């Protein structure tokens, strides 16, 4: 990796706005064509190399690594002082770009000044260079150091591009971004997986999703809304696919059914994959990922059960799909699979029963590379059907008075879905563990940093 300059990532579009008092350029903006140009770069000492007569620092910012020669420009005292700086010292380098065909990037920096901006007072807990691989828990305990690894930066560049693509697609399709509360009085998804909070004299919970609120916005006439929100799941799982605080990218649309929402989900998922593969080419390359945009295969839950049984999997109609089933379906059908019309018993209470087959509801999940990344449904908009479904799901309708009342006051048919940001990042960045794709993950045992 020494001396390698990475291509500009999608975040760095117009250099002129990015200069600060401490730098004129990001490292990825430098090139051999700038031979002779005075520049100021800033970042961390990645490595100090002393090869006989040649001494140099590899300076790293979040865009790449540059070779700063220690032999010329500075006096020998200054060189020695600079070379004595431990790895990960935070420095600013003034100097001149010099074309050098022998350097991997085709140029190097001849420094006139190397300033240590804040001398290290404590040792760095692991090697940022990756020469000595660090355990994931050690990296997560020291996330501010882990983020200095260019691979980690790439994961979050990809995540940023996903969010951007989602927001752009929604805005282009006439959706308005809204905020919904995280403190709620009752479960938004049903079930017992709730974090309890003492809310002054009352009990409250952290929202499992923005579900009820996005529906209220549509009933309120906003028609097309989207949101990016934290969702809190008190699930006791300890798997590589579950977090206890996730980020959901949700939408809800009025005067629409499940088919309309599924069409938009397919369009959005495809668009995100295309955008990431175009805009994050350098990040994907750094992570060793090749992305293609797969065609989406549709299958009903019933069809999926039949297919899985043919393949010798033990599954009965009425059972939810397991992780193994999801992996198998993607193996059989392709990277992107939309499974539709699940049995009502395995779906949330607000899912609309199917008019042709009351055993199933107008719900769907999108699987990507063997993992559920999204789920959604047409919602029940008829109050008497909603009350019946709540009772069948073991919920007390009295707890949902604000929600139920809305359905008695002119609620249009509506539908929506939610994409899990960290799961999607995980699959696009090719990470085996979801914790890698959440900057500060919350799991069964992790509550800091
Ligand atoms: P659901 O509960 O399926 O649906 O959540 C939507 C998406 O969020 C992600 N997700 C998770 N990711 C990691 N760890 C978890 N514990 C976790 N829980 C959920 C998944 C999932 O597909 N209200 C509905 C959506 C809707 O119908 O609009 C809901 O929240 O990627």
Instruction: Report the separation in Å between the CA atom of 355 and the middle of ligand 1, taken as the mean of its atom positions.
Output: 25
Residue 193 CB less than 6 A away from ligand 1 = no
Report which ligand 1 atom has the smallest distance to the Cα of 188.
23
Instruction: Report the separation in Å between the CA atom of 151 and the middle of ligand 1, taken as the mean of its atom positions.
Output: 26
pLDDT at res. 78:
62
Q: Which of 239, 375, 431, 436 to mutate to test the pocket of ligand 1 (most atoms within 8 A of CB)?
A: 375
CA 112 from chain centre, in angstroms, equals: 41
In angstroms, the CA 313 to CA 391 distance is 32
Q: Strands, E, within 313-440: which ranges?
A: 336-340, 363-368, 371-378, 414-420
What is the chain's percent helix, strand, coil content, to nearest 5? 35, 25, 40
Structure tokens at 299: 């299958």
CA atoms in the 13 A half-sphere facing the CB of 368: 26
H or E, element range at 96: strand 90-99
Q: State the virtual CA torsion across 309, 330, 298, 217 in degrees, nearest 10.
A: 120
Structure tokens at 216: 């209220």
Residue 417 CB less than 6 A away from ligand 1 = yes
pLDDT in tens, 13-54: 444 568 999 999 999 999 999 999 999 999 999 998 877 667
Nearest to 389, CA basis, from 440, 343, 327, 341: 343
Residue 441 CB less than 6 A away from ligand 1 = no
pLDDT at res. 55:
78
Report which ligand 1 atom has the smallest distance to the Cα of 211.
23
Residue 438 CB less than 6 A away from ligand 1 = no
Residue 243 CB less than 6 A away from ligand 1 = yes
Indicate the pairing of strand 336-340 with strand 363-368.
antiparallel
pLDDT at res. 3:
35
Angle at 248 between CA 315 and CA 152, to 5 degrees: 100
Q: Could you give the domains of the chain?
A: 1-121 (2.40.50.140), 150-437 (3.30.930.10)
Residue given tokens 């990796």 in the structure block: 1
Contact 238, 443 (CB under 8 A): yes
Kindly report the backbone phi and psi dihedral angles of residue 129, in degrees, each rounded to the nearest multiple of 5, phi listed first.
-65, -15
Instruction: Report the separation in Å between the CA atom of 424 and the middle of ligand 1, taken as the mean of its atom positions.
Output: 11
Question: Which residues, 6 or more positions from 242, have their beta carbon under 8 angstroms from its beta carbon?
Answer: 233, 235, 434, 443
Instruction: Report the separation in Å between the CA atom of 420 and the middle of ligand 1, taken as the mean of its atom positions.
Output: 6
Structure tokens at 286: 């750094």
Residue 108 CB less than 6 A away from ligand 1 = no
pLDDT at res. 14:
47
pLDDT at res. 75:
52
Contact 250, 210 (CB under 8 A): yes
Which residues in the chain land under pLDDT 50? 1-15
Report which ligand 1 atom has the smallest distance to the Cα of 424.
31
For ligand 1, atom 6: residue with the closest CA = 418
Write the Ramachandran bin of 125: left for phi over 0, alpha for psi from -120 to 50, otherwise beta. Answer: alpha
Q: Which of 159, 194, 195, 209 to mutate to test the pocket of ligand 1 (most atoms within 8 A of CB)?
A: 209
In angstroms, the CA 53 to CA 70 distance is 10
Residue 266 CB less than 6 A away from ligand 1 = no
pLDDT at res. 7:
42
Instruction: Report the separation in Å between the CA atom of 325 and the middle of ligand 1, taken as the mean of its atom positions.
Output: 18
């Amino acid at each position: 990796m020494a001396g390698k300059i990475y291509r500009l990532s999608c975040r760095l579009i117009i250099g002129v706005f990015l200069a600060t008092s401490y730098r004129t350029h990001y490292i990825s903006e430098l090139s051999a064509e700038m031979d002779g140009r005075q520049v100021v770069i800033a970042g961390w000492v990645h490595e100090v190399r002393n090869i006989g007569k040649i001494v140099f620092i590899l300076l790293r910012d979040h865009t790449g690594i540059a070779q700063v020669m220690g032999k010329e420009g500075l006096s020998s005292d200054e060189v020695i002082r600079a070379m004595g700086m431990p790895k990960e010292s935070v420095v600013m380098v003034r100097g001149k770009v010099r074309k050098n065909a022998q350097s991997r990037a085709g140029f190097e920096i001849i420094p006139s000044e190397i300033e240590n901006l804040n001398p290290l007072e404590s040792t760095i807990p692991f090697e940022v260079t990756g020469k000595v691989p660090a355990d994931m828990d050690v990296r997560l305990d020291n996330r501010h150091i882990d983020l200095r690894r260019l691979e980690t930066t790439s994961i979050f560049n990809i995540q940023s591009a996903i969010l951007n693509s989602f927001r752009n697609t929604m805005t282009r399709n006439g959706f308005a971004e809204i905020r919904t509360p995280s403190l709620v009085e009752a479960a938004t998804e049903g079930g017992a997986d709730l974090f309890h909070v003492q809310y002054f004299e009352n009990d409250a919970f952290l929202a499992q999703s923005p579900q009820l609120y996005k529906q209220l916005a549509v009933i309120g006439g906003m028609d097309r809304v989207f949101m990016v929100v934290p969702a809190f799941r008190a699930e006791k799982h300890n798997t590589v696919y579950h977090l206890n605080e996730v980020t959901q990218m949700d939408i809800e649309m009025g005067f629409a059914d499940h088919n309309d929402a599924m069409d938009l989900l397919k369009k959005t998922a495809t668009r995100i994959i295309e955008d990431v593969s175009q805009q994050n080419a350098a990040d994907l390359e750094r992570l060793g990922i090749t992305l293609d945009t797969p065609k989406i295969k549709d299958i009903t839950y019933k069809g999926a059960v039949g297919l899985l049984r043919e393949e010798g999997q033990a599954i009965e109609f009425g059972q939810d799909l397991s992780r193994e089933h999801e992996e198998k379906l993607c193996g059989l059908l392709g990277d992107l699979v939309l499974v539709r019309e699940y049995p009502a018993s395995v779906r949330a209470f607000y899912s609309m029963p199917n008019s042709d087959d009351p055993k199933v509801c107008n719900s769907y999940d999108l699987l990507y590379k063997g993992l559920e990344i999204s789920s959604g449904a047409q919602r029940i908009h008829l109050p008497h059907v909603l009350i019946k479904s709540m009772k069948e799901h073991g919920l007390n309708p009295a707890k949902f008075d604000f929600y139920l009342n809305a359905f008695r006051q002119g609620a249009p048919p509506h539908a929506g879905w939610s994409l899990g940001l960290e799961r999607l990042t995980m699959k696009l960045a090719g990470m085996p563990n979801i914790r890698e794709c959440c900057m500060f993950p919350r799991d069964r045992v992790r509550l800091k940093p």
